[in-house]
Amino acid sequence: MEKKGIPAVLIAHDRFEAAARAQARALGLPDLPVIVVPQPQSWTTKEEEVQHANEAVGMIQAALLARPAAKPAR
């Protein structure tokens, strides 16, 4: 979508942040925003998961509305 001029973001669990950023670079989009959310654990409560999801929605909205689409690397 980014390469067609439509802003996008990558969403990754915290354990995959480095891989997500590497993938963005590999796709020629090093400035693509990466939204990092905590990896759920067996002890994570439903309320905590809902809180993390709500926080992620806010970060996604902010990232999409704050900038034009990323320019591909040359």
- What pLDDT is attached to residue 74? 62
Query: Total domain count for the chain?
Result: 1
How does DSSP classify residue 25? H
pTM of the predicted structure, to 2 decimals: 0.77
Residue 22 belongs to what domain range? Answer: 2-65
Examine residue 61 and state whether it is found in any structural domain, yes or no. Answer: yes
- What pLDDT is attached to residue 67? 75
Examine residue 72 and state whether it is found in any structural domain, yes or no. Answer: no
Examine residue 29 and state whether it is found in any structural domain, yes or no. Answer: yes
Examine residue 7 and state whether it is found in any structural domain, yes or no. Answer: yes
Examine residue 74 and state whether it is found in any structural domain, yes or no. Answer: no
| Residues in the chain where the model's pLDDT stays below 70 | 69-74
> What is the 3-state secondary structure of 4-45?
HCCCCCEEEEHHHHHHHHHHHHHCCCCCCCEEEECCCCCCCC
Examine residue 73 and state whether it is found in any structural domain, yes or no. Answer: no
pLDDT tens, residue by residue, 5-25: 888 999 999 999 999 999 999
